[in-house]
Structure 1
Amino acid sequence: MKILTNLLNLHEGEDDRAKTLEAVKKNITFKGANLWILACAIIVASVGLNVNSTAVIIGAMLISPLMGPIVGAGFALGIYDFSLLKKSLNNLLTATAVSLAVSALYFYMSPFKDVQSELLARTAPNIYDILIAFFGGLVGVIAVTRSEKGNPIPGVAIATALMPPLCTAGYGLATGQWKFFLGAFYLYSINCVFIGIATFLIIKYLNYPPVKQIDETHQKRVRYIIAFLITVMLVPSSYLAYSLYREQQFKKNADLFIENEFSAKGYTIVYRKTDFNPKNKKLELAFLSKRFSEAEIKDLAQRLSRNKYLAGTRLLIRQDSTDRFNALKGDILSQIKSSENEMNLKDVRIMQLEKELAAKKFDSRQILKETRALYPAVNSLSISRNTLVSPKDSITSITAVIYDASKDLSRTDSEKLQKWLNERLSVNDVELFRRH
Structure 2
Amino acid sequence: MKDEINKVLNFVDLHKGEEDKKKVVENITSAVSFRGSNLWILACAILIASVGLNVNSTAVVIGAMLISPLMGPIVGAGFGLGMYDTDLLKKGLKNLLIATIVSLTISTLYFYISPFKEAESELLSRTSPNIYDILIAFFGGLVGVIAFTRVEKGNPIPGVAIATALMPPLCTAGYGLALGNISYFLGAMYLYTINCVFICIATFIIVKYLKYPQKEQLNETRKKQVKYGISILILLMIVPSIYFAYQLFIQKSYNSRTENFIKQEFTDNDYPIIYKNIKYNQSPKRIELAFLSKKFNQTEIKDLNKRLIDYNLLNTQLIIKQDTFNIGNDILNKINSSRDMVDKKDIIINKLRSQLSSYQFNNDLIIKESEVLFPSVSNLSIGNYTIKDKDKKDVIIPIVLYQSTETMDNEKAKRLKDWLKIRLAKDSVEIYRQPLSPISKITKAKQKK
Q: TM-score, normalised by structure 2?
A: 0.61
C-alpha displacement of 1:66: 0.9
Aligned match of 1:358: none
Query: Paired residue for 1:146?
Result: 150
Q: 1:89 to 1:233 in 2, by over 3 A?
A: farther
- Equivalent residue number for residue 91 of structure 1: 95
Compute the displacement of 1:317 (Å). 0.8
Matches within 5 A, 1:52-67: 52-67=56-71
Q: Which letter maps to 1:48?
A: G
| CA RMSD after TM alignment | 4.1
Identity %: 55
> Quick one: which of 31, 39, 45 aligns to 2:35?
31
Change (3 A) 1:19 1:323: closer
**Pairing 1:270–2:275 present:** yes
The reply to whether residue 302 of structure 1 matches residue 327 of structure 2 is no
Partner of 1:17: 21
CA distance in 2, matches of 1:158, 1:12: 26
Residue 160 of structure 2 is aligned to residue 156 of structure 1? yes
Q: CA offset at residue 25 of structure 1?
A: 3.3
Q: Superposed, which structure 2 residues align to 1:33-432 within 5 Å?
A: 33-80=37-84, 84-113=88-117, 118-119=122-123, 122-123=126-127, 125=129, 129-176=133-180, 180-208=184-212, 212=216, 221-267=225-271, 268=273, 270-275=275-280, 282=285, 284-288=287-291, 289-290=295-296, 292-304=300-312, 313-318=314-319, 334-336=333-335, 338-339=337-338
Seen in structure 2, the aligned counterparts of structure 1 residues 231 and 131 have a Cα distance that, compared at 3 Å, is closer
The 8 Å contact of residues 172 and 180 in structure 1, kept in 2 or not, is answered as: yes
State the 1:223 CA deviation: 4.8
The DSSP-based 3-state class of the residue aligned with 2:138 is helix
Correspondent of 1:4 among 5, 8, 11: 8
Q: Give how far 1:162 is off.
A: 1.7
Q: Partner letter of residue 317 of structure 1?
A: L
Query: Does the C-alpha gap of structure 1 residues 77 and 276 become closer, same or farther in structure 2, counting only changes over 3 Å?
Result: farther
Measured in 1, the distance between the counterparts of 2:26 and 2:246 equals 36
Contact 1:122 1:184 in 2 (8 A): yes
Q: Using a 3 Å threshold, how does the CA distance of structure 1 residues 265 and 333 change in structure 2: closer, same or farther?
A: closer
Given the superposition, is the C-alpha separation of residues 248 and 338 from structure 1 closer, same or farther in structure 2, using an over 3 Å criterion? same
Q: Structure 1 249/78 Cα, relative in aligned 2: closer, same or farther at 3 Å?
A: farther
1:356-401 CA-to-partner distances (Å, cap 9, x unmatched) read: xxxxxxxxxxxxxxxxxxxxxxxxxxxxxxxxxxxxxxxxxxxxxx
Question: 2:323 & 2:23 partners in 1: Cα distance?
Answer: 78
- d(CA) in 1 for partners of 2:57, 2:317: 39
Consecutive unaligned residues of structure 2, counting only runs of 5 or more, are: 352-449
C-alpha separation between the residues in 2 aligned to 1:190 and 1:257? 37
Q: Residues of 2 paired with 1:330 and 1:243: CA distance?
A: 42
How many residues are paired up?
338
Distance 1:244 1:53, change over 3 A: closer
**C-alpha contact (below 8 Å) 2:28/2:76 kept by paired residues:** yes
Deviations 1:259-311, CA, capped at 9 Å, x for gaps: 4443333342634224269xx79453344434535444333312226xxxxxx
Pair 73,230 (structure 1): closer, same or farther in 2 beyond 3 Å: farther
- What is the aligned partner in structure 1 of residue 443 from structure 2? none
The one-letter code sitting in structure 2 at the alignment partner of 1:100 is L
C-alpha contact (below 8 Å) 2:41/2:68 kept by paired residues: yes
- Kindly indicate whether the alpha-carbon contact (under 8 Å) linking 1:77 and 1:230 is maintained by their aligned counterparts in 2: no
Instruction: Kindly indicate whether the alpha-carbon contact (under 8 Å) linking 2:105 and 2:174 is maintained by their aligned counterparts in 1.
Output: yes
Deviation at residue 62 of structure 1 after TM alignment: 1.9
Separation in structure 1 between the aligned mates of residue 222 and residue 131 of structure 2, nearest angstrom: 39
CA separation of 1:230/1:115 partners in 2, compared to 1, >3 Å: closer, same or farther? closer
TM-score by length of 1: 0.62
